[in-house]
Each structure stands twice: as structure tokens, then as C-alpha cells.
Amino acid sequence: MESRKLLVGGFLFALGIASYLLLGLYTLKYSMPSDVSWFHVYVAEYAGYPFDKALSIISPLDLRRYDVLGDLLLRQLGFKQLDIASIVSGILLLVLAGVLSYYWSRDFYATGLAVLLIATTPGFIYWFKQGMLGPWLYIPLVLLGFLLASMAYERRNLALSVLAGLILGLSWILNGSTWVVLVAYSIALSVLVIAGKPGWVEFSPSLVVLLTLVSAIVVGYRYITFWHVTAVGFLAGSIAGWLVSARLGLGRSSLKLIAVASTLILSVAVSALLGLVFEMPGVGEVYYKQYNPMFDLGVPGLLLVLAFLVLLRSARGLPTLESFTRAILLAASVTSIILAYVNVIAELYAIVFSSILAAFVMVRILEGVRLFKGGLSRVSSLLLSLLILSALVGGNAVSSRAISLSLPSIISLDIPLTYLNSTATGFSGLPQLLTSISNTTQGESLAVVYWGYSYYAVGYMGRGFVTLAGAAGPAEGWRLTSWIMISDEATAAGIIRRLMLEYNITRAYVIVGEAISVEHTLYGSNQTHLGRAVLVNYQTGAVTYQPLGDIARIPMYVALSNQSLTDYIDYSKATYFINAPLAWTSRAASSLVAELITSAAGSLGYPVFNDIYSPQALNPGPLRFFRLVNTTLIPLDTVVGTSSTFNNYYLLAVYQFSEVAL
């Protein structure tokens, strides 16, 4: 019996590893970094430490305030194959998740199924596909810490408990999102205090983590955010609740509940208040990916409610799971699902623990299928089990396949998510533009670009390129970028010229992007409109135009540059909320961003109309200080109106600044 379980479990385990390699490596359509990975690639390859100016030439970043120690460790270790770092880490995570699952359940079926579920879950594939790089690659350390903590609990071994704390503390320093599972660990310990009498073995990891964090801060660690301080409150609160309960000799569970809950709430409240009153030095990541639990968590997320109900049964019903394991699984699964709304990386913890939990429960259910009587034969029960497993894993894999085919954020940029899998293939978008301005001489080049794209420009170009600000700041860089974008050409040229002189910049480029719509009428005439065409009345076929890129950001640029919005936008012209950024005044029409986008479209043979601003085609006139270097069009979709067909595109253009009028 055990040999059969080992054989089947081993097959599922191997299938999980193979599925991960297939989805995250071999069938990947674009094997390049995405999201904030471009920032971490730059840090791991080029960044200075502790200060680096690439993401802000006017105010160099203090990298001690960012979650980049893991990137710097890879550099110190001489790890050059950064594009496969995620694959190595992903395999380690699957192996450790399998070991952890077996240690907790002692069931080879559950172990293999857990690994297979994790390996085919969309959220896991997104963060661990080839090319991804970031602190989440150190999540295997978290699993190792929990494995050691579980072994310490079972063997009552204090040394193992301390080692688990050291591993978790190291994980916190290398991967700031570890605070999520430490909150879950604290909640689980508080529950155990109420239910029984845990000792130093259970609480030693928390104490060691706190000591490790304090030691790191003393030697210069600065990535401390409000959420990290709150997590410290959870750790300290669970320890204090245990000590208070033990000191007062509380025996009744109701009294323990009051003592533990009040102590935990007080500790968390104090730590959160401190985090709000005192500005924390840590700078949180700004992710391109948005948390979507129904999609990201896949089948494990859907099965979590069922698993939750099963695990709440008595120990008699689940003899293979210790109370410590049950508390950890429940707390980690539920807490990480909720906290992923704060830090999207937390979804990875939710995927791991939910998969372990769901696999354990599903194995119990499938084993129960064989107990049915009254017509169900052994063969039919086996077929039913295989059908259920195929449906679970297949549903996961289909969603993950969509991740494998999706565009990396450096290409998709402002393109709505609904287009990501339907957009025409074969284009290169921003990488094509960046390649066209790659350095060929000595000196530094300044890229004036929306700060949400600075990571891409710096990460793709590497050493020699600098920007004004990244997604996390500084605010001075945001304001300067905004001022350049909404100023007229001469004023913008003056600002850039001054920056080049002050910071010894050799060349300067401006990168802009916006959606355009090419209209083809039944009568053979063509017009190009600013913004993508959107149907607003399906019965009449009426359309309006929605900007997606830099034109859509004009109100934000105006606000950040301390200008009056009414000087640029006349809302009385707007017919819908989505076309409000197109309701220009003459000042907006003469802004640099409007002139650059209009000129770029004209260079492709598309004279542009802004239907909300004027019935006449826009005529920016010849540019005096900016030379068009390259443009690219990304096809979006086709919209059919009453008497016209609209082909929507996303236009990207890069201009080189000339100190002398052209």
C-alpha cells in the first residue's frame, strides 16, 4: 500500500515539476522580465550601493530603503544567469512545499497533489516564470523556516526552534514580504495559547526573528515600512499574550481568550500608531500586477472554503494533522489571502498553503469515493477520482497557460488587460524604441518618460541611462517630468537644457505613448482620432474616444506641476468621463506631450483629430528642439460603428532633444 502511494505521489510530484517547467519556461511567449523585475535586474547588475542615481538623477536613491538585499546578494555570489534565477527558485519552492506537505500530512498522495496544484496555479506562474527577479525568489527560505519550526514542535527541540527563527529572520531581511507569514504565525500561536499550553519551543522563532531584525537595523538595514512595524506588533503581542496567560495562571479558555486577544490588540494598535506617527524609511514596491484572487489563486483558492470546514473538525477526524500544523495552515492561508490586497506578493503564500490544505482535503474526499456502495465499482470510482483530479489540475493549467502567453509589462504598458491576450503578435513596443537609442558613445543619457516606465527604461538599457523618477518617487522627479510634459516646446527645452548642464548629461530623450484610432468609412475616406474608439451606444453604433497613455495623464501632470487644471482642460466640452482628458484648451493643445504625439502620428501618415477639442485636424507645426528617432504601433482591436470601422492602435515614440534649434 505504501509503495503504491509513493509511486503515485512521486508521479504527481514529477508531473508538477514538469508542468512548471512547461508553463514557466518552455512555452513562454516572451522570455523577458516583467513588472518590477526590471528594477531588480538593474540593481543586481549595475546599481551603486548604497546610493544610485539611475532612477532619479536629481535625488539619488538610498537603496538601503528598498527591498533589494536579495538582488545584491546575487551579485556578490557572482550569479550571472539572472533570467533563470526564478526557475531555480521555483523548483526549490516546489520541492520544499512537497517536503512540508509530507511532513505535515504523512501522505504521499497529498504531497504530490499539493506540488501539482502549486505548479499550475496562475499566480505562481506569473511570479516564477523565466526572467522574473525580485525578493519573492527567497520564499523557499520561509518554507524551510516553517519546516524547521514544525520539526521543533514535534521533537520538542529548542535548538531547531532557534534555527527556524534564524532562517525566518534571514528571509525577512532578503524578502520584505515575509512579514505576511509572520503575522499568520503570530495569530496561530495566539490560538494555540487559548487552546493549550505552548512553550518556548513554539515562541522561540518569534523572539529570534525580532532579535535578528533589530540586529539588522543596527548595522544599517532600512527597509522598514508601516506594515513591517505592524507585523512586529503581532509578534510581540502573541509573545506577551502567552506570558500574561502563563503569569496569571489562567486555566479557562474564555479567560485566556480575553487575555490573549486584549494583549494582541493592544500591541498591534501601539505598533500601528508608531508606524503612522513616525515616518518609516522603507519604500514599498509599486507593482504593475493587480491582485485578482479568483484568477490568481486558481483551484486552491476555490477549494479553501471546503478545506477550511474540514480542518475545523476535531483531531479525531484528522489524526494525521497536529494542532500546530492545523493552526499554521488555517492562519497562513486565510491571512495571506487578505493581506495580498496590501502586498500582492502575499498571494504566493496563499497559493502554497492553500494548495497544501486543499490537497490534503481532496485526498481524503477521493479516498472516500472508494467507500461508496450500491453500484459504484472499483473501476468507476477510480475513473471518477481521475476525472475530479483532471478537472482541478486542468482548470489551473488553462489559466496558467494564459499567463505564459501574456505580454510582459514593458510591452503592454497602458494597454488594458482585456487586450493582453488578443493583441496582435510580432511587435516589440518599448524595447524596440529603447534599442534605437542605445548608447554608442561615452556619457550619460537622460530619458524623460512617465515614471511608471522608468524601471523598464533603466532595466532594459542598463548602465549609462538615467531618469528623473521611478514609480516610488521622488516627488521632485514627478514634478519635473510633469512640468516638461505640459509645457510648450520652448519651455520644455529650457528645462531639459538646464538639467543637462547641471548633471553633466550628454544626451536627452523624451518617450511618449498614446492610443489612436484609424477610422475607415463606407465611403472610402479615412481619419485618425486621438484615443481609442469605444462604443457608447450599441444600438446606434455611436463611439467616443478614450486616451490611455500620456494624454490621459495630462490632469495628473497638471496637478503635480501646481498648475490650474482649468487652464488645460475644459470639462464643459467632455461628453463622457472617459474622454475628459481630450477636452483641451489651447494651452493643452500646445503642450509638449500633445505636440510630440501628434507629430509622431503624422510621421506615419496619420493626421490626427481630437474630436472633443476641435473638428479640425491638429497641426502642431514643425518641432524645433526635438527630433523623432523612432515610432512603433501596437495593434489593439477593431470597433465597428454605424458607418465606420475603427482600428485601434497604441502609438509609442521617442524623440531626441537638440540643444540647437533644428
Is 143 within 8 Å of 93 (Cβ atoms)? yes
pLDDT > 60? residue 422: no
pLDDT > 80? residue 58: yes
* pLDDT tens per residue, range 132-171: 999 999 999 999 999 999 899 888 899 999 999 999 999 9
* pLDDT tens per residue, range 469-486: 988 878 999 999 999 999
pLDDT at position 315: 47
Name 628's bridge partners.
Answer: 655
* pLDDT tens per residue, range 165-210: 999 999 999 999 999 999 999 998 888 888 776 788 888 999 999 9
d(CA 642, CA 491): 43
pLDDT > 80? residue 419: no
d(CA 44, CA 61): 15
Q: Which three cell numbers stand for residue 524?
A: 472610402
Name the more confident of 30 and 131.
131
Burial class (CB in 10 A: 0-12, 13-18, 19+), 313: exposed
> How sure is the predictor about 316, in pLDDT bands with cuts at 50, 70 and 90?
very low
The rounded percent of the chain whose pLDDT value lies above 70 is 91
Angle between helices 346-369 and 139-155 (to 10 degrees): 60
Is 15 within 8 Å of 397 (Cβ atoms)? no
* pLDDT tens per residue, range 510-539: 999 999 999 888 776 688 999 998 888 877
Minimal CA–CA distance to 288: which of 3, 34, 45, 576? Answer: 34
pLDDT > 70? residue 464: yes
Question: Which H, E and C letters describe 53-110, residue by residue?
Answer: CCCCCCCCEEHHHCCCHHHHHHHHCCCCCHHHHHHHHHHHHHHHHHHHHHHHHCCHHH
Angle between helices 85-105 and 2-21 (to 10 degrees): 160
pLDDT at position 197: 67
Name the more confident of 634 and 21.
21
Backbone angles phi, psi at 358, to 5 degrees: -65, -40
Count the neighbouring beta carbons within 10 Å of the beta carbon of residue 441: 8
Specify the 3-state DSSP secondary structure of 640: strand
> How sure is the predictor about 312, in pLDDT bands with cuts at 50, 70 and 90?
low
pLDDT at position 161: 93
Minimal CA–CA distance to 352: which of 540, 118, 636? Answer: 118
Residue-wise burial string across 326-346, b where 16 or more C-beta atoms lie within 10 A, e elsewhere: bbbbbbbbbbbbebbebbbbb
d(CA 284, CA 151): 34
| Sign of torsion over alpha carbons 484, 487, 493, 495 | negative
For residue 486, how many C-alpha atoms fall within 13 Å in the half-sphere facing its CB? Answer: 29
* pLDDT tens per residue, range 262-299: 888 999 999 999 888 888 888 888 888 889 888 888 88
d(CA 653, CA 125): 32
pLDDT at position 631: 93
- Match 526572467 to its residue by C-alpha cell: 131
Count the neighbouring beta carbons within 10 Å of the beta carbon of residue 319: 9
Angle between helices 179-195 and 139-155 (to 10 degrees): 20
Range among 25-34, 123-132, 606-615 with highest mean pLDDT value:
123-132
Domain ranges of the chain: 2-30+81-393, 418-657
- Match 476555490 to its residue by C-alpha cell: 302
Question: Which H, E and C letters describe 264-285, residue by residue?
Answer: HHHHHHHHHHHHHHCCCCCCCC
Q: How far is CA 372 from the centre of its chain?
A: 45
